[in-house]
């Protein structure tokens, strides 16, 4: 298999290891080796990665404080035919990391943008949590101020999806307390810290137990965290209320529309509502309505 070579005038968004430097992909190394410029969230961190693989490259800083200005300069370089790779400190750029403005400006200028996928803290945590998470919502970092954080959690409280957060070590204890108070003590939580690093740890428990587990060892509060919380249990519609709602809707709407609206109003499963609708029509509880 031939090595990949960076194309002139192209921007590459490159995922890098979230801890263990051996997790970098061969394709990422090919691109980092052959681009003209490597733009980095922190040039010191990226220099360490490049040194580990014997790569000498021109480094340019692009971080949250200079992203728009730095992006303009890089787009100009790309327009002159230079190839650019952008990397964040760890993981995939643009996911709770800088990179969004660079991509937008490059696309607006008609510059090819290519992703070099690889490590992701979110995907890594989900894969080892052992939690049912066919559907999940990545929130990123919750607000740092307590009142705003609790308000954000109230907005997420009833969602049926697994909730995925990033959290900093100096706020993780407060966040676990708020998660328990707002979302409920019985939900399952997976606390993943320092993924792929020497002191990697994943702990699964009830939210009621999370704060105590964290406080039991000072080392558990160190590092970078991914937190996954079980989604809200589906709200079971009251059978009598569902029948009453569906009867009224069927009297005014075609079957398909009545069922769809009843599902939205009650949160009940579509198949359950549809079967009840057929039963109501069959026994003459409602008049047939044109489909």
CA–CA distance, 60 with 92 (Å, rounded to integer): 18
In which residue are the tokens 């105590």 written? Answer: 212
Which pLDDT belongs to residue 288?
A: 53
The SS3 call for residue 41 is coil
pLDDT value of residue 246: 86
* Mean pLDDT score, 180-193: 97
The DSSP secondary-structure symbol of 226 reads: E
User: Coil, strand or helix: which one is 162?
Assistant: strand
In the DSSP assignment, the letter for residue 134 is S
Is the per-residue pLDDT at 285 higher than 80? Answer: no
- pLDDT tens-digit series, residues 127-136: 999 988 789 9
Nearest-angstrom CA–CA distance, 202 and 174 = 19
In this structure, the chain runs to a length of 291
Q: Please tell me the pTM assigned to this model.
A: 0.79
Per-residue model confidence (pLDDT) at position 236: 62
Share of residues in the chain with pLDDT > 90 (%): 76
Of 5, 31, 21, 1, nearest in space to 116 by CA: 31
- Whether residue 83 is predicted with pLDDT greater than 80 in this model: the reply is yes
Q: What is the pLDDT of residue 281?
A: 84
Q: 152-174: per-residue pLDDT in tens?
A: 999 999 998 999 999 999 999 99
Given a contact cutoff of 8 angstroms between Cβ atoms, the answer to whether 213 and 148 are in contact is: no
What is the residue-averaged pLDDT of the chain? 93
Cα–Cα distance measured from residue 188 to residue 181, given in angstroms and rounded to the nearest whole number: 13
């Amino acid at each position: 298999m031939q090595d990949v070579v960076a194309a002139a005038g192209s921007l590459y968004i490159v995922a890098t290891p979230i801890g263990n430097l051996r997790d970098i992909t061969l394709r990422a190394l090919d691109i980092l080796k052959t681009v003209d410029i490597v733009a980095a969230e922190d040039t010191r961190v990226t220099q360490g990665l490049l040194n580990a693989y014997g790569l000498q490259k021109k480094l340019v800083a692009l971080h949250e404080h200079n992203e728009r200005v730095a992006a303009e300069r890089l787009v100009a370089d790309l327009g002159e035919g230079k190839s650019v790779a952008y990397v964040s400190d760890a993981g995939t750029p643009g996911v709770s990391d800088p990179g969004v403005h660079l991509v937008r400006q490059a696309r607006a200028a008609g510059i090819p943008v290519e992703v070099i996928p690889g490590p992701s803290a979110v995907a890594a945590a989900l894969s080892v949590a052992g939690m049912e998470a066919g559907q999940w919502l990545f929130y990123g970092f919750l607000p740092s101020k307590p009142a705003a954080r609790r308000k954000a959690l109230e907005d997420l409280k009833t969602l049926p999806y697994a909730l995925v957060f990033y959290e900093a070590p100096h706020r993780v204890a407060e966040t676990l307390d708020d998660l328990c108070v707002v979302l409920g003590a019985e939900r399952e939580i997976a606390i993943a810290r320092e993924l792929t690093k020497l002191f990697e740890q994943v702990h699964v428990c009830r939210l009621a137990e999370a704060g105590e587990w964290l406080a039991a060892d000072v080392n558990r509060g160190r590092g970078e965290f991914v937190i996954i919380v079980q989604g809200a249990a589906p709200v079971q519609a009251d059978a009598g209320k569902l029948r009453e709602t569906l009867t009224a809707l069927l009297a005014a709407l075609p079957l398909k529309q009545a069922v769809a609206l009843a599902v939205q109003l009650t949160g009940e499963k579509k198949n359950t509502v549809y079967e009840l609708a057929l039963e109501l029509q069959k026994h003459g509880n409602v008049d047939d309505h044109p489909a």
